[in-house]
């Protein structure tokens, strides 16, 4: 069974009474353990799609199924509960709480989900060790580099062992070295079975995925399966082809 499904997704926003289409009939199916990158220019609908897949917003038309449950049938409270249990979200801007330590930032979603504190602490220590942050548990976000903050955000997103990890331009605020480190870590988690859906405008980032979907003007226009080498050459060549 697919982890995430979207059928005929449309999303229309209103700007001063004018309809602004963001998605125009998107279909997507992500299988367990897949690493999918959705690639396209700014404003093409990538982030809107991710928010709909996470149940953070509702489609104007169409449906989303998350872990087999139809989000359209759930109210806000039910969607929030499902999201805590099944979705990890990594944002471009990290979104760490500045007055909480690294440990407390990572623990928070686990505690909100009602998991036992001792279990949350064990999981957090495992994740921080795997992400090279074991010595940063008592630090505050302001004391960390951008790359370290994004790794904390990844740990926070994984604390509840989510069915799917959604990442919105996760390297957008990082230098190339830190970005490569974050992408390498995401691929390592994917190799261990973590399902990932990532949106990006960067061919380098997309090249780490096993399936790349190209998006433009709210629609999917093509897809490919790169070698996952971290070399963007294949993705760039396909991008040139679809833009002709």
Residue 131 lies in a domain: no
Tens of pLDDT, residue by residue over 10-37, are 999 988 889 999 999 999 999 999 999 9
Residue 207 lies in a domain: yes
DSSP tally for the chain: helices H, then strands E: 8, 10
Domains in the chain, number = 1
Q: How many CB atoms neighbour CB 7 within 10 A?
A: 16
Residue 37 lies in a domain: yes
Q: Record the pTM.
A: 0.93
Helix (H) or strand (E) holding 128: helix 117-130
Asked if pLDDT for residue 163 goes beyond 80, the answer is yes
Residue 55 lies in a domain: yes
Question: Given its phi and psi angles, is residue 205 left (phi above 0), alpha (psi -120 to 50 degrees) or beta?
Answer: alpha
Residue 173 lies in a domain: yes
pLDDT for 1: 84
Task: Check which CATH number belongs to the domain holding 33 and give it.
Answer: 3.40.50.300
Asked if pLDDT for residue 231 goes beyond 90, the answer is no
pLDDT for 17: 84
Q: Which domain holds residue 15?
A: 4-97+163-243
Residue 112 lies in a domain: no
Average pLDDT, the chain: 93
pLDDT for 93: 87
Rounded distance between C-alpha atoms, residue 204 and residue 115, angstroms: 37
Tens of pLDDT, residue by residue over 45-68, are 999 999 999 999 999 999 999 999
> pLDDT grade, residue 239 (50/70/90)?
confident
State the average pLDDT over residues 191-208: 95
CA distances from 39 to 103, 105, 137 (A): 33, 29, 34
| HSE value, Cβ hemisphere, 13 Å, CA-based, for 93 | 3
Residue 199 lies in a domain: yes
Residue 106 lies in a domain: no
């Amino acid at each position: 069974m697919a982890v995430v499904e979207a059928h005929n997704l449309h999303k229309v926003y209103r700007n001063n009474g004018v309809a602004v289409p963001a998605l125009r009939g998107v279909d997507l199916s992500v299988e367990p353990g897949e690493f999918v990158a959705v690639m396209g220019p700014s404003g093409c609908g990538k982030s809107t799609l991710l928010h709909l897949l996470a149940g953070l917003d509702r489609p104007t038309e169409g449906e989303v199924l998350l872990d087999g449950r139809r989000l359209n049938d759930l109210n806000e409270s039910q969607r929030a509960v499902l999201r805590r249990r099944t979705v990890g979200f990594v944002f471009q801007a990290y979104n760490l709480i500045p007055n909480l330590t690294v440990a407390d930032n990572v623990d928070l979603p686990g505690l909100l989900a009602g998991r036992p504190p001792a279990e949350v602490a064990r999981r957090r220590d495992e994740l921080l060790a795997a992400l090279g942050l074991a010595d940063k548990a008592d630090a505050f976000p302001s004391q960390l580099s951008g790359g370290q903050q994004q790794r904390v955000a990844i740990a926070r997103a994984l604390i509840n062992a989510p069915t799917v990890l959604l990442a919105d331009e996760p390297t957008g605020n990082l230098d190339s070295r830190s970005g490569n480190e974050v992408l390498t870590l995401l691929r390592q988690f994917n190799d261990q079975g973590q399902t990932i859906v990532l949106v990006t405008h960067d061919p380098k980032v997309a090249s780490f995925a096993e399936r790349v979907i190209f998006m433009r003007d709210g629609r999917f226009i093509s897809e490919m399966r790169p070698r996952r080498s971290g070399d963007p050459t294949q993705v760039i060549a396909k991008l040139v082809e679809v833009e002709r």
